[in-house]
C-alpha cells in the first residue's frame, strides 16, 4: 500500500525529453510578431482617435473621402483574403498548380488595392490635403500609409513565395512560409476593418 501513495517521476513531468521537429514553433512565433504589429497599429489608431478632429481650419473627412472608392478597396482586400484561403486549400491537397494560380489571383487583388490607395493618396496631395496640412491628415496618412506599406510588403513576399514554390514545389519549408503569409494576409484584412470603420465610416457620419 505504501507504494500507492508515492509518486512516480512520470506523474508530474515528462521523464523522456521529446523533440520538436524543425519549424514546430514557427506559427506561435509568427503569431506573437503579428500581435506586436497589432499593438503598433493600436498606437496609430489611438493617435488618429486623438488628432482625428484637429483639422487646423483645413478640409475634414467629408470634404476629402470618397466612400465608393473605399468600398471598392474593401472588396479587393476581402476577395484577396478568400482567394488566399483557396490557395491554402489547394496546398493541403498537394495541388501545386492550383496553389500558384490562387496565389497569383491574390497578388492581383493586392496590387489593385495598392493602386486604388496610391490613386487616393496622390488625389489628396493634389488637392493640397497632404500629410503636412493638419494633424488630422498627418494621423490619417500615418495610419492608412502604414497599412498600405504592410500590403506592399505582403505582395513582395507573395511574389517571392510564388518563385520558391515554382522552383522547389510544396516542400515542408514552403508550406510553413505559406501558412505564415496566410496569417499575415488575413491579419491585414482585420486591420483594414478597423481602418474603414474608424477612419472612413465614422468620419463620414
Chain residues that interact with another protein, rule: CB under 8 A: 1, 3-4, 8, 10-11, 14, 18, 20-21, 24, 27-28, 31-32, 35, 38-39, 42-43, 45-47, 49-50, 67, 70-71, 74-75, 78, 81-82, 85-86, 88-89, 91-92, 179, 183, 186-187, 189-190, 193-194, 196-198, 201-202, 204-205
Task: Supply the minimum distance, in Å, between the C-beta of residue 132 and another protein.
Answer: 13
CB of 5 to another protein, least distance (A): 8
CB of 168 to another protein, least distance (A): 19
Query: What is the sign of the dihedral through the CA atoms of 76, 77, 80 and 85?
Result: negative
Q: Which of 55, 83, 92, 62 is nearest to 158 (CA)?
A: 83
Cβ nearer to another protein, comparing 23 with 104:
23
User: 171 is written with which cell numbers?
Assistant: 516542400
32/14 Cα distance (integer angstroms): 27
Euclidean distance between CA atoms 118 and 153, whole angstroms: 15
Comparison of 29 and 122: residue with beta carbon closer to another protein: 29
Contact 170, 91 (CB under 8 A): yes
Rounded least distance, CB 182 to another protein, Å: 8
Q: Indicate the residue among 1 and 167 with the shorter CB distance to another protein.
A: 1
Q: Is 87 helix (H, G, I), strand (E, B) or coil?
A: helix
Q: How many whole angstroms separate alpha carbon 69 and alpha carbon 117? A: 9
Amino acid at each position: 500500500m505504501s507504494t500507492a501513495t508515492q509518486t512516480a517521476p512520470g506523474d508530474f513531468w515528462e521523464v523522456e525529453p521529446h523533440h520538436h521537429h524543425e519549424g514546430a514553433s514557427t506559427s506561435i512565433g509568427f503569431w506573437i510578431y503579428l500581435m506586436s504589429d497589432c499593438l503598433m497599429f493600436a498606437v496609430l489608431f489611438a493617435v488618429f482617435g486623438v488628432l482625428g478632429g484637429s483639422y487646423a481650419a483645413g478640409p475634414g473627412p467629408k470634404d476629402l473621402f470618397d466612400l465608393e472608392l473605399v468600398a471598392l478597396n474593401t472588396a479587393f482586400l476581402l476577395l484577396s483574403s478568400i482567394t488566399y484561403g483557396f490557395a491554402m486549400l489547394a496546398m493541403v491537397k498537394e495541388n501545386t498548380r492550383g496553389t500558384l494560380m490562387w496565389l497569383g489571383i491574390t497578388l492581383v487583388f493586392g496590387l489593385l488595392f495598392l493602386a486604388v490607395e496610391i490613386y487616393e493618396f496622390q488625389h489628396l496631395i493634389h488637392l493640397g490635403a497632404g500629410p503636412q496640412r493638419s494633424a488630422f491628415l498627418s494621423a490619417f496618412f500615418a495610419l492608412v500609409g502604414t497599412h498600405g506599406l504592410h500590403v506592399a510588403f505582403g505582395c513582395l513576399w507573395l511574389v517571392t513565395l510564388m518563385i520558391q514554390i515554382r522552383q522547389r514545389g510544396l516542400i515542408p519549408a514552403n508550406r510553413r512560409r505559406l501558412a505564415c503569409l496566410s496569417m499575415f494576409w488575413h491579419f491585414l484584412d482585420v486591420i483594414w476593418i478597423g481602418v474603414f470603420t474608424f477612419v472612413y465610416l465614422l468620419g463620414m457620419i
